[in-house]
Amino acid sequence: MTAQSAKTTATPAGSPNFHYKNGVLHAEGVSLAALANDLGTPLYVYSRAALATAFTAYQQAAGSHSVLICYGMKANSNLAVLKEFARLGSGFDIVSGGELARVLAAGANPGKVVFSGVGKQVWEMQAALNAGVKCFNVESVPELKRLSSVATQMGKTAPVSLRVNPDVDAKTHPYISTGLKENKFGIAIEEAAEAYKLASTLPGIAVVGVDCHIGSQITEVDPYLDALDKLLKLIAQLDSMGIKLKHLDLGGGLGIRYDDETPLAPKVLLDRVFTQLQTRGFGHLELVLEPGRSLVGNAGVMLTTVQYLKLTEARNFAIVDAAMNDLMRPALYEAWHGVLPVAPRTTEGVLYDVVGPVCESADWLARARTLSLEQGDVLAIESAGAYGFVMAGNYNSRPRPAEVMVDGDRFHVIRQRETFEDLIRGESCLP
């Protein structure tokens, strides 16, 4: 087994809200064995308390400073999750008109929404202007000109920050690195001053901030400080040009524990950021953050049931009912997710690849895991709260899983399992 070293996880890695009680894995006070039995699998299960704990860590790290936490909702956009963060005081970082519609459906304040994304269409700009979002994070000069035209035609003013690409290596997976010159995101830092100069002259545009986002699953503070240094130099240059900013958006990207990582705590990062802002004379700026994974990643698991145990000369396979269409990260990034038996057995474990039924060799959830299993056992795939359900699809005509939110000793189904009728809705045959 060369792809990943053989390991077994004895205790939940990510959140104390998932724990064993009387030999059965629980989410808060709810048995995951009972959920799997009652609702079936695959099944996404989230902890309401874990969401609150993660968000509170950012609030406490902000202290008395002016900070707006905008949840990066592409990580998990279920309405119940959005509603929880709205209740806690969160804003939202969105990247599409559909995500804006979700924010509004959850009853959140659009005035605390920042609209990111490289390909905003006219209708999305119109919807965001009508909703009254806090800011557009503009990622190119052509987008800036289009936004100016749309806002002018509507008789509105678009608040704008330019997303600057600082050419900083976030030291993360190349697919989730977004702050290098070769990435599609943002305006090169060398071109940013000229873009701001243009923005300040365009009708329908009000320059309010600067934005950057260098990547995801970042576990070190230095990449943030490198980016911050470049942004502060740009802000000083803009200040000398008479362009006064109101906020600095440092993006998101803080990592979580999947395996043996040591995540960067929000307070460790923000203490360093606040020191730099004060030292460099920019303590008056509002700080905007866009955390996603670090708020929801370890707040969820995906439950799946072993269908068959296939023992071969080369490998042993635990074939489960969840697949790459339910959790894409392993196939897409070769990502590690912990695997926990919901009701562990005491017999000696065997080395398994945990794989799904989809007709692709990439359909695996975990490789080289030591597990004691029998057919029918339920497994919990850890750290599935971020980029789990939101990336799920219907490949092989497989309905997407249900989603559940646990609250103490109660649970709520927050998305029904899809049916075959859902899969073919909108399709028709030729006459």
pLDDT at residue 333 is higher than 80 = yes
List the one residue out of 378, 370, 340, 330 whose CA is nearest residue 12.
340
- Is 291 annotated in a binding site? The answer is yes
CB under 8 Å to 173, separation ≥6 — which residues?
A: 217, 333
What is the model's pLDDT at position 215?
86
Q: Are 303 and 380 in contact (CB under 8 A)?
A: yes
Residue type, 122: V
* Residues 389-397, mean pLDDT to the nearest whole number: 98
pLDDT at residue 367 is higher than 60 = yes
Question: In Å, what is the CA distance from 376 to each residue of 41, 187, 312, 341, 355?
Answer: 11, 52, 20, 11, 15
- Is 290 annotated in a binding site? The answer is yes
Confidence label for 185 from pLDDT (cuts 50, 70 and 90): confident
What is the model's pLDDT at position 15?
79
- Is 253 annotated in a binding site? The answer is yes
Phi, psi torsion values for 417, nearest 5 degrees: -60, 140
Q: Domains of the chain, with CATH numbers? A: 18-47+297-424 (2.40.37.10), 48-295 (3.20.20.10)
What is the per-residue pLDDT across 228-286, written as a single tens digit (0 to 9) for each? 999 999 999 999 999 999 999 999 999 999 998 899 999 999 999 999 999 999 999 99
- Is 393 annotated in a binding site? The answer is no
Q: Over the range 141-164, which residues count as b (16 or more CB within 10 Å of their CB) and which as e?
A: eebbebbbebbeeeeeebbbbbbb
CB under 8 Å to 124, separation ≥6 — which residues?
A: 96, 97, 100, 115
What is the model's pLDDT at position 181?
56
- Is 387 annotated in a binding site? The answer is yes
- Is 427 annotated in a binding site? The answer is no
Q: Are 75 and 390 in contact (CB under 8 A)?
A: yes
- Is 333 annotated in a binding site? The answer is yes
Residues with a known catalytic role: 359
Length of the chain: 431
Strand 24-27 to strand 18-21: parallel, antiparallel, or no bridges (unpaired)?
Answer: antiparallel
């000069």: which residue's tokens? 141
Gap between the Cα atoms of 147 and 136, Å rounded: 9
Q: Indicate the average pLDDT of the chain.
A: 93
Number of alpha carbons in the 13 Å side-chain half-sphere of residue 401: 29
Q: What is the pTM of this model?
A: 0.94
